[in-house]
Structure 1
Amino acid sequence: MTALEQTRAPGAKRRRTRSASGSAWTPYLFLALPALYIVLFQGIPLVQEVYLSFTRTSLLNPTSSQWVGLENFADIFSQDGFHRTLRITFVYVIACVVGSVGVGLIVALLLNRDFRGRGVARALVTVPWAAPGIAVALIATWMLNPQYGIVNRALNAIGLGVPGGSILDSPVYALPAILVTTTWQLFPLASVVLLSALQAVPKDLIEAATMDGAGRWRIFQTVTWQVIKPTVGLLSLLMTIWSLRRFELIWLMTRGGPVGSTETLVIDLYSEAFDAKNLGNAAAIGMVGIVISLIVIVGSRLVVRGADKERIR
């Protein structure tokens, strides 16, 4: 090695060290902006909501708060209407998850077959999911209109018409109508996700099961379901959280009525905050929703972990 090379070698080593040091920080730099966004727009509002839930705060004077501890939680749980709201919320969430994932799985199985126009069919299935929630609510309201709605005309034609023709004004039929509308909007996402999972099912396992004489249901049970089950679990968890937060569709179609028959937690929160002007109670209702979401997430993780342990054994 010449003297010039010897003098350059330490500098080159330092440059390589600085380059390696810089690359080590690169992932953190990419994560900095999303982390800042979460802190500013998710973390700080969450802390403020927690604080509000322990205070008596009016929407008309939000800067003046009085610490009341758990009084807001005691107040909302002492109301019979809140218990009904919780029941309606659970019914709505369970029906939406089962309906959207169930219909999505059936559609995904159909779209996974070879037939002419399959690409067009796959594209058309995504239309309800791509439509804005406001547009879906308005279209559903027009279709359910008692005077010129196509749904009432079809039901009357087969002798199943609703008395008075007003489905959304009926305490019995309003919630099922919203459930059908929500399922219609959500199932395309489930079908697209599950269709991707079905593409990952090994063809050789299906062929081996077919050669062993297994029928379609047996093949689905032993091969297909085992592959797509993790995707179904994750999808069900996401649908549960989204259904707990669903607001615009219910509000635009019924505003939680009639007589509270479609009032979920988010509708009750909105009414408490902007109709009753009680931010403290509204924040307490929001905290109940957060706790329910956390319970669902933790419960799903425990179920998945238990299933993994059983599979390893």
Structure 2
Amino acid sequence: MTVLERQRNTVPRSGTRRRGSPRGSKWTPYLFMAPAAVFILVFQGVPLVQEIFLSFTRTSLLNPTRSTWVGLDNYTRIFGDEDFHRTLLTTFIYVIACVVGSVGAGLAVALLLNRGFRGRGWARALVTIPWAAPGIAVALIATWMLNPDYGIVNRFLETIGLGVPGGAILDSPRYALPAILATTIWQLFPFTSVVLLSALQAVPPHLTEAAMMDGAGRWWTFRAVTWQVIKPTIGLLALLMTIWSLRRFELIWLMTKGGPVGATETLVIDLYSQAFDSKQLGSAAAIGMVGVVVSLIVIAGSRFVARAAEREAR
């Protein structure tokens, strides 16, 4: 063996140790997701399982530790009740009107705020006030404005010849739900307007200018360019508004408590009444499960529509 070969064998080799991947282990993403998964499992998964079990029992609020297994009796009873059918119809009307009204009003306001005018910054800030206000405050203000004695709404309606007889808007089965809807939309539309304003600012200006140069009017430019960019955002907002409207409780309860004569009673109001007025936790849990199923159907439908839109875009 030569001297050069001996030196090669005696010199320690460097750089032979394998270094860890800069991206970490394959389990790293799951470790980051673990806290959120545990939180959802403990605080949402376990109560959901308990609610499912409770919906198949007859349990009183006065003695919740004692329950009797009744199977599908709670579901049979609520679906056989005509009042529950009216509650479902009121819920669907409320949700659809809130989604269409809040997204439509938000889009109109966003289009206005996207234009250049003096004081636009102040206008963008002021439009968020209804959304920033607590739901309880909004309900109390709306109730005060709709008061039959000194409410400004009925006085204005009387001035233009559309006053409600007696001025009791919230006590009228005909006008109570529209009043609730108007208040809800007034509170929700600032959120949709801010989100849609961000989406409008993402529209490439050169596409809009090209459409205008080709002779397209404002409507066709909006339909061919702007709408295609903001359509995914509108779909997401419609899903959020649907879920939030299904869960809306404090505003309806404080303004009408589901009345008069059940005209504004939605699923969450009926659930509360069954649990704390009638003291029937089993029936309340069954109504809650109906709401869960409706929410899952809405989410599945939105996913189906989104995937269909993606396939069309391709």
**TM-score, length-normalised on structure 2?**
0.94
Matched, 1:201 2:197: no
Per-residue deviation, 1:2:
8.7
1:75-107 deviations in Å (ceiling 9; x for gaps)? 001111000000000000000000000000000
Distance 1:24 1:154, change over 3 A: same
Q: Give 4+ residue runs of structure 1 displaced > 6 Å after superposition.
A: none
Letter in 2 for 1:201: V
Aligned to 2:3: none
Match of 1:282 among 274, 278, 284: 284
Aligned to 1:135: 137
Per-residue deviation, 1:310:
2.7
For residue 220 of structure 1, give the secondary structure of its aligned residue in structure 2: helix
1:37-90 deviations in Å (ceiling 9; x for gaps)? 111111001000100111111111111111111110000011110000000000
Per-residue deviation, 1:304:
1.9
Aligned to 1:185: 187
**Structure 2 residue runs without a partner (length 5+):** 1-7
Larger mean Cα displacement after TM superposition, 108-117 or 157-166:
157-166
Query: Which structure has more helix as a fraction of its residues?
Result: 1
Task: State how far apart, in whole Å, the 1-side matches of 2:117 and 2:23 are.
Answer: 55
Per-residue deviation, 1:22:
5.5
Q: Which structure has the greater CA radius of gyration?
A: 2
Aligned to 1:158: 160
Aligned to 2:30: 28
What is the 5 A alignment of 1:267-306?
267-306=269-308
Per-residue deviation, 1:25:
3.8
What is the 5 A alignment of 1:232-247?
232-247=234-249
Task: State how far apart, in whole Å, the 2-side matches of 1:155 and 1:131 are.
Answer: 26
1:177-216 deviations in Å (ceiling 9; x for gaps)? 0000000000001001111111111111100001011110
Per-residue deviation, 1:21:
8.8
Task: State how far apart, in whole Å, the 2-side matches of 1:61 and 1:295 are.
Answer: 34
Task: State how far apart, in whole Å, the 2-side matches of 1:286 and 1:202 are.
Answer: 45
Aligned to 1:117: 119
1:250-272 deviations in Å (ceiling 9; x for gaps)? 00000000010000000000000
Letter in 2 for 1:298: A
Letter in 2 for 1:48: Q
Larger mean Cα displacement after TM superposition, 295-304 or 22-31:
22-31
Letter in 2 for 1:267: I
Q: Percent identity?
A: 74
Aligned to 1:252: 254
CA RMSD of aligned residues (A): 1.6
**TM-score, length-normalised on structure 1?**
0.94
For residue 303 of structure 2, give the secondary structure of its aligned residue in structure 1: helix
Task: State how far apart, in whole Å, the 2-side matches of 1:232 and 1:4 are.
Answer: 67
**Structure 1 residue runs without a partner (length 5+):** none
How many corresponding residue pairs? Answer: 307
Aligned to 1:147: 149
What is the 5 A alignment of 1:25-104?
25-104=27-106
Task: State how far apart, in whole Å, the 2-side matches of 1:68 and 1:155 are.
Answer: 52
Letter in 1 for 2:139: A
